[in-house]
Amino acid sequence: MNVLEVSSLEKRYKEKLAVKDISFQLKGGACTALLGPNGAGKTTTLNMLAGLIKPTAGKIMAPDSPDDIREMIGYLPQYPAFFEWMTGKEFLIFSGEISGMKKENAERRTEELIALVGLEEGKNRKVGQYSGGMKQRLGIAQALIHKPKLIILDEPVSALDPFGRREVLDLLKTLKKETTILFSTHILNDAEQICEDVLFLHEGVLIEQGAIQEVKARHHKLRLTLHFN
């Protein structure tokens, strides 16, 4: 069953056509990497899926949740904003409450998520004292607070040092058991470690999609051409 079906999606910013007529489906339970170099249109695509910006044309459908696409998605933007004076635990409870949960439910879900993302030790520390990797794990927990069917993560490891990167990639592997994942990156190696499927954007055009290994075999020269590592 597809959790999301995207058809002929486009985004124009004045004269710039940033995303050009892209169509794809996301299979439930799968991990899909949205791959592409800087400026390819990844953030624009993800922002449209998350309902943050309006497409210029095209459709986004959720066959299983036609009326509440936004509610079925958890989103971690590329530059997430946190209330740094709160502790991690306070921040997650607050996030649950503003998404409509009763306080006791938000507290229960927060404890589950703290264990899931491995923030037990830091949960009572102020978010402002967190490392980059801890902040990303907190952001992932926040995206999961309302048990979404799909989480969308915009370059969740790009700004991290190798240690933080490893931690977050390992967490994403674990999360595959919980939910469907779509995440963007410009590093093929990150995608290969956790995802089966890939969407390959280049200058706003979806030039490839499918199983990563098949796409790689078809485009074995692409890594060199586009400077992927």
Evaluate whether 148 touches 75 at the Cβ level (below 8 Å).
Answer: no
156 binds ligand ATP (CB under 6 A): no
Residue keyed to tokens 């923030």? 119
DSSP H helical ranges for the chain: 42-49, 88-98, 103-117, 132-143, 162-175, 188-194, 212-218, 222-225
Count of positions on this chain that bind ligand ATP (CB under 6 A): 12
- Please identify, using beta-carbon distances, which residue of 79 and 162 lies nearer to ligand ATP: 79
Q: How far is the CB of 81 from ligand ATP (least distance, A)?
A: 17
**CA dihedral sign of residues 128, 70, 209, 27:** positive
CB nearer to ligand ATP: pick between 46 and 114 = 46
Residue 14: exposure state from Cβ atoms within 10 A (0-12, 13-18, ≥19): exposed
Q: How far is the CB of 119 from ligand ATP (least distance, A)?
A: 26
Contact positions with ligand ATP (CB under 6 A) in 77-136? none
Convert residues 23-62 into a mask of x (bound to ligand ATP by CB under 6 A) and - (unbound): -------------x-xxxxxxx------------------
Binding site for ligand ATP (CB under 6 A): 13, 16, 18, 36, 38-44, 186
